[in-house]
Amino acid sequence: MNQQLIIFDTTLRDGEQSLQESLSVEKKLKIAFALEKLGVDIIEVGFPISSPGDFKSICIISKNIKTSKVCSLARCIDKDIDVAAEAMKNADYFRIHIFLGTSSLHMESKLGRTFNEIVEMAVRSIKRARKYTDDIEFSCEDAGRTDLDNLCRIVEIAISSGATTINIPDTVGYTIPSQFQDIITSLYRKVPNIDKAVISIHCHNDLGMAVANSVSAIQAGARQVEGTINGIGERAGNASLEEVIMAIKVRNDIFKLNTNIKYKEIYNTSQIVSKICNISIPSNKSIVGENVFTHSSGIHQDGVLKNRENYEIIIPETIGLKSKLLNLTSRSGRAAVKHYMSNMGYLEDHDYNLNNLYDSFLKLSDRKGRVFDYDLEILSFSNSNSELL
Ligand code: KIV
Ligand code: ZN
C-alpha cells in the first residue's frame, strides 16, 4: 500500500509575508477556498501575533474552511501561542506551528541563547500549545545550517514533549539535494523516537533548489512537504507546490506515494494566486507557465501530432488546462498548419491547397511572429479567391 504525503500550503503565510502589500481578508479567503478545493491537507493561514489584520483574517478563514486543517504560526513566546489558539478557536480542527532558530548563527546572533536555553524554550512552548490542541508542529528554523547532533537532540526532545510534526526548514535555501537528503536520512537513523512524528520539510529557493531539495527529502522519508502556489515567498520564494505535487505524480514509479490533491484544480489555483497577489507567472515556469504545453519547432509539432508522448510528459488536461498543443510560428511545419485547418473544419485536401497555404503562412509568420487560426482562415480564403481581390 502506498503511503500518504501530506501537502502543507503556506501561500497565505510565507507567501503573503513576501508581498509588497498585505492582502485583504476577502482576497485571503478566496485563496483559502481555492486551496481547499485543490485538496491541500493543511493551510497555514498566517502569523496572528504579527498584526491585527492577520489575526482577523485567520479568525474568518478558520471559521470557513472545512475540509483542510488550518494552522497558525507562533514563536516560542507564550503570547504568540495563546493568540494563535484564540485566532483559530472556531475552526473544526487546527494546528499550532511553533518555530525556533537552532543553527549557531541564529542562536547566537539572532536570539542570544545557548543551545540548552533553546531546548528549554522549545519544550515549554510545545507543552503550552498542547493545552489548546494535540496537533503541534515544531520547526527547527535554519535546520539546513544546524549542527547535526544538535538537530537530532532537539528533534528527539520536541517529539517527547508532544510535537506531532517536526519540520526541517532550509530557511535560507543553502543546501543542495544530496546534503538535504542526508539530513533527513540521519534523523531517521539517529533519533530513537522519530516514528512518533511526521517529518516535514520546508525549502526556500535562494539557490534555485527548493523543489529538488524537497523531492530528495521525500525520497529519504519525509512525509509532509511545505510550499506555496507558484513558489511565492520570502526572497527567491518557497518550493513551488504544484511542481512538487506533479513530480510526485509523474514519477510515482519512484515515490509510490498518495496525496489528496485534485489535480484538475492546479491551473486554476495558480491563476487565482497570481492574479490576487499580482505576481505574474513566467511563460516557461514548470507546470503552470503559458508555454509549458505548447510546441514550437516543426520537428516537435510533427512528433506530438503523431503521438503526444513523444514530447509531453504531462497532458494539460491533467492540471485542468485545455489543450493548446501547438504554437504556429515560422518554425512550424506543414503538419501543424494542416492540424489547425482540420480543427477549423477544413478536413479534405480539396478544401484548400496546403502547399499554397503553407507558403503564405511562412511569409506571414516571418513578418508577424505567432500566427493564429483566424490568420490561416484569411490566408486560405485569399489564396482561393485571389481573382476577387
Ligand atoms: O523558512 C522558515 O524557516 C520558516 C519557518 C517559520 C518554518 O518559514
Ligand atoms: Zn519559510
Cβ contact 163:126 at 8 Å? yes
Angle (nearest 5°) at CA 379 between 376 and 385: 140
Sign of the CA dihedral running 213, 214, 219, 224: positive
Grid cell locating 2: 502506498
In the DSSP assignment, the letter for residue 262 is -
Residue 384's pLDDT band, with cuts at 50, 70 and 90, is: confident
- Residue whose CA is closest, atom 8 of ligand 1? 14
Instruction: Give the pLDDT confidence of 141-196 residue by residue, as tens digits.
Output: 999 999 999 999 999 999 999 999 999 999 999 999 999 999 999 999 999 999 99
Residue range 12-22: mean pLDDT, rounded: 95
Q: How far apart are the C-alpha atoms of 58 and 64, rounded to whole Å? A: 10
Q: For ligand 1, what atom is nearest to the CA of residue 139?
A: 7
Ligand closest to CA 239: 2
Ligand 1 pocket residue status of 302, Cβ below 6 Å:
no
pLDDT band at 324 (very low <50, low <70, confident <90, very high): low
Our mutation pick for probing the ligand 1 site, out of 49, 95, 167, counting the most ligand atoms within 8 A of Cβ, is: 167
Question: Is the pLDDT reported for residue 385 higher than 80?
Answer: no
Percent of the chain with pLDDT over 70: 98
Compute how many other C-beta atoms are within 10 angstroms of the C-beta atom of residue 386: 9
Which element (helix H / strand E) includes 159? helix 148-161
pLDDT in tens, 71-125: 999 999 999 999 999 999 999 999 999 999 999 999 999 999 999 999 999 999 9
Ligand 2 center to 382 CA (angstroms) = 58
**Interface confidence: ipTM more than 0.95:** yes
pLDDT band at 374 (very low <50, low <70, confident <90, very high): confident
Distance of CA 227 from the midpoint of ligand 1 (Å): 10
Weakest-pLDDT range from 155-159, 180-184, 197-201, 313-317 = 313-317
Tell me the torsion sign for CA atoms 352, 354, 359, 364: positive
Report the nearest atom of ligand 1 relative to the CA of 73.
6
For the stretch 244-302, pLDDT in tens is: 999 999 999 999 999 999 999 999 999 999 999 999 999 999 999 989 999 989 999 99
Mean pLDDT computed over every residue of the chain: 95
Would you place residue 388 in the very low, low, confident or very high pLDDT band (cuts 50, 70, 90)? low
- How far apart are the CA of 64 and the centre of ligand 1, in A? 25
Q: Which residues contact 268 (CB under 8 A, 6 or more apart)?
A: 34, 320
- Answer for the pair 270, 230: CB distance below 8 angstroms, yes or no: yes
- Please tell me the distance from the alpha carbon of residue 136 to that of residue 96, in angstroms, as a whole number: 5
Sign of torsion over alpha carbons 10, 145, 140, 187: positive
Greater pLDDT, 351 or 267: 267
pLDDT at 326: 84
Counting atoms of ligand 1 from 1, which one is nearest the CA of 14? 8
Closest CA to 62 of 129, 12, 14, 131: 12
Give nearest CA residue, ligand 1 atom 6: 99
Summarize pLDDT for 102-111 with one digit per residue, the tens.
999 999 999 9
pTM of the model: 0.91
Pairwise CA distance, residues 19 & 276, whole Å: 11
Ligand nearest to the CA of 139: 1
Pairing of strands 165-170, 198-203: parallel
- Tell which residue, 99, 92, 29, 41, has the closest CA to residue 260: 41
Q: How far are the Cα atoms of 74, 167, 209, 212, 232 from residue 203, in angstroms, in the given order?
A: 19, 10, 8, 9, 12
Nearest ligand 1 atom to alpha carbon 204: 1
| Nearest-CA residue for atom 1 of ligand 1 | 171
- Look at the chain and count its residues: 389
CB 227 within 8 A of CB 238: yes
